[in-house]
Structure 1
Amino acid sequence: MKNVAEFTLIGRIGKITAGESVTRLSIASNYRRKGKDGAWADDTHWNQVVVFSEGARKYIADHVAQGDLVMARGRVRQSSYDKDGETRYGVDLVCTDFGLLAAKQPATDEDEETA
């Protein structure tokens, strides 16, 4: 039996940082929570995802922009590194499947009037 540690995110792109061999995506996911006053509110969480696949990196560079709704799926990988003589630990979300669900819609005059 295969053991897995996987993630699936659906959210909006905040920031895209492309390096030589990796693209880093900041993806916002919203959760509903009930406050102490009983009112429901959005609780936004920013997830940092890394993409190594050359094909996915090219697709992101050519077709994805800030505010777009995307789906990212992949594996969870623990990591560690030394800094100033201290070992630091982290968790990487390594994207193995990526898709653009909807492009960000431009604001309309009606949207601006209600804001």
Structure 2
Amino acid sequence: MQNIAEFRIIGRVGKIEIKDKVAFLDIAANYSRKVGEEWEDDPHWNRVTLIGKNAERVDRIGKGDLLHIAGRVRQSSYQREDGERVFHVDLIVERFATLLRSENAREEG
């Protein structure tokens, strides 16, 4: 059996950043939490990485669009000159679908 580390996010696009053949999306997923007697939205931001064909598809999405994203988790580390070990987690998108287009995104472009 193959060992895997996967993620799944359903959330809205915040920021889109494209660098060469790689794209980065900031995605907000909302959770509810109780504050006193009321329930409030508690957005959690995730930065995901798109490469290859997925990066090429980024031009089809806009800020505010609701996406379903799935992919793999890649963890890496390096050692700084001062000896401190730094860990980093990448969320690599393997597939995504637009569930709902934002009205704001249509007006902008």
User: Per the shorter chain, which TM-score range?
Assistant: 0.7 to 0.9
Identify the residue that residue 40 of structure 2 maps to in structure 1.
41
Q: Give SS of 1:30's match.
A: strand
Higher normalized strand content (fraction of residues): 2
Identify the residue that residue 95 of structure 2 maps to in structure 1.
97
| Identity between Structure 1 and Structure 2 (%) | 42
Q: Distance in 1 between matches of 2:78 and 2:61?
A: 31
Runs of 4+ in 1 over 4 A off after TM superposition: none
Cα 1:22–1:81 shift into 2, 3 Å: farther
Asked whether 1:72 is paired with 2:69, we answer yes
When Rg is computed on C-alpha atoms for both structures, the one with the higher figure is 1
| Paired residue type of 1:60 | V
Identify the residue that residue 8 of structure 1 maps to in structure 2.
8
How high is the TM-score relative to the length of structure 2?
A: 0.86
Q: Distance in 2 between matches of 1:84 and 1:21?
A: 30
Q: Could you tell me which runs of 5 or more consecutive residues in structure 2 were left unpaired when the two chains were aligned.
A: 105-109
Q: Distance in 2 between matches of 1:29 and 1:65?
A: 16
Q: Give SS of 1:9's match.
A: strand
